[in-house]
Amino acid sequence: MSVILTDGDYKILKQSLKTTIGLDLSQYKQQQMQRRIRQWLDRTGVKTYKEYLKILESSEEERLKFTEYLTINTSQFYRDVSVFKEIEEKVLPDLLQRFRRLKIWSAGASIGAEIYTVAMILQELSPNTAHTLLGTDFDQSALVKAGAGVYGENLLNSLPSLYKNKYFTQENGSFKIDAGIKGKVRLKRHNLLEDSYEKGFHMILCRNVFIYFTPETQARLTKQFSESLVPGGIFVVGSAENLMAPETADLKRVSYCIYQKD
């Protein structure tokens, strides 16, 4: 039988989770998150959410697993081919022409596939230029995987063969990213909801993250991201996301999933 999680239970659970794993679920869409938590509780075999909270308090391993589940670490190299073609063929060449040395941030970087994709593209477009590339995520276990740089072939399905052949080595059925590419990226744990944002970015990618947040939180984060961009900088969202009133954050839509700061 499924664990029952009422609105009152969820309120108590939110308060506890902010203490135990540091995640503020009040910023997330409640119905969506309640459903995900119920599914997880059913998998664990507990009878009540209070029983599970006791497990979380006593087990660091369980806290890591639960955090990884809640933060939904889905990633792929060159994910959404049409968007990355635009980034590769138009966005990055234009930014390089205007700024030469770029500072780029993948927010919600998960296991690193997105920021490494950008690193490979830049290596082809401007091989002798030192760019600043940052990948951040709330989930420490995802960042550990990003740091290892070893991926299943299914995550490379959309990646053009040029990059797959040039920047990966096959080892024991997995694919290991080139150490030179990995070395170009700085990985850091970051809480989008609470931590301060660095400034001076030429491009920020925050893709397939907003869909889990409330409209109010989306608007607040959009403004913060815009403030972190230089004038003329680019903000990229996921294919299932559409910024509401981007002009209130000094952004204008210039292409599918792509916005530019005025």
Domains of the chain, CATH where assigned: 7-70 (no CATH), 81-261 (3.40.50.150)
Say whether pLDDT at 225 is over 70: yes
Which helix (H) or strand (E) element contains residue 161? Answer: helix 161-167
Q: Which of 67-71, 80-84, 136-140 has the lowest mean pLDDT?
A: 67-71
Sheet holding 185-189, edge to edge: 185-189, 132-137, 103-107, 201-205, 229-236, 258-261, 251-255
Would you state the structure tokens that stand for residue 183, as one six-digit string?
């070395």
Using 50, 70 and 90 to split pLDDT, how confident is the model at 120? very high
For 133-181, what is each residue's pLDDT tens digit?
999 999 898 999 999 999 999 999 999 999 999 999 999 899 999 999 9
Which of 72 and 29 is assigned the larger pLDDT? Answer: 29
Phi and psi, residue 258, nearest 5°: -120, 130
